[in-house]
């Protein structure tokens, strides 16, 4: 039988997402600053002609860090040697 715990957590997530999507605009429309002169100036300053560049400059570090973490996570693991960097198998071969 399938695990019901995952289904419950999915329902909680879906209901929280639903509430956020449909109730957040109500809270945003209640903002007294957003419809004022200052709110219009702030919005104009954010959504100006440099918006795309600023968005790219703000978001660019995240994919770079993800690539670095992926490279570290996907790299082969090296064992720490207790022989001081020497391969113990090489000593027996050279003595033969």
pLDDT score recorded for residue 38: 92
Give me 86's structure tokens. 């020497």
Count Cβ atoms below 10 Å from residue 96 Cβ, excluding itself: 4
**Residue positions counted in the chain:** 96
How far apart are the C-alpha atoms of 18 and 20, rounded to whole Å? Answer: 5
pLDDT at site 87: 59
Full-model pTM: 0.42
Query: Residue 14: inside a domain, yes or no?
Result: no
| Average pLDDT per consecutive 10 residues, the chain (96 residues; last block may be shorter) | 65 89 74 85 91 94 95 79 60 54
Give me the helices (H) in the chain, please.
4-29, 37-46, 51-59, 61-74, 88-95
Judge whether 41 lies within some domain.
yes
* Domain range enclosing 50: 30-72
Confirm whether 12 is domain-assigned: no
Q: Is residue 80 part of a domain?
A: no
The predicted pLDDT at position 1 comes to 44
Whether 4 maps to a domain, the answer reads: no
Number of domains in the chain: 1
Instruction: Tell me the Cα Rg of the chain.
Output: 28
């Amino acid at each position: 039988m399938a695990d019901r715990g995952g289904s419950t957590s999915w329902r909680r997530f879906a209901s929280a997402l639903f509430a956020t999507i449909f109730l957040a605009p109500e809270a945003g429309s209640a903002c007294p600053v957003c419809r004022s002169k200052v709110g219009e100036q702030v919005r104009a300053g954010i959504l100006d002609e440099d918006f795309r560049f600023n968005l790219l400059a703000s978001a660019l570090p995240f994919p770079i860090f993800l690539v670095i973490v992926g490279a570290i996570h996907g790299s082969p693991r090296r064992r720490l040697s207790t022989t001081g960097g020497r391969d113990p198998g090489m000593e027996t071969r050279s003595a033969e």
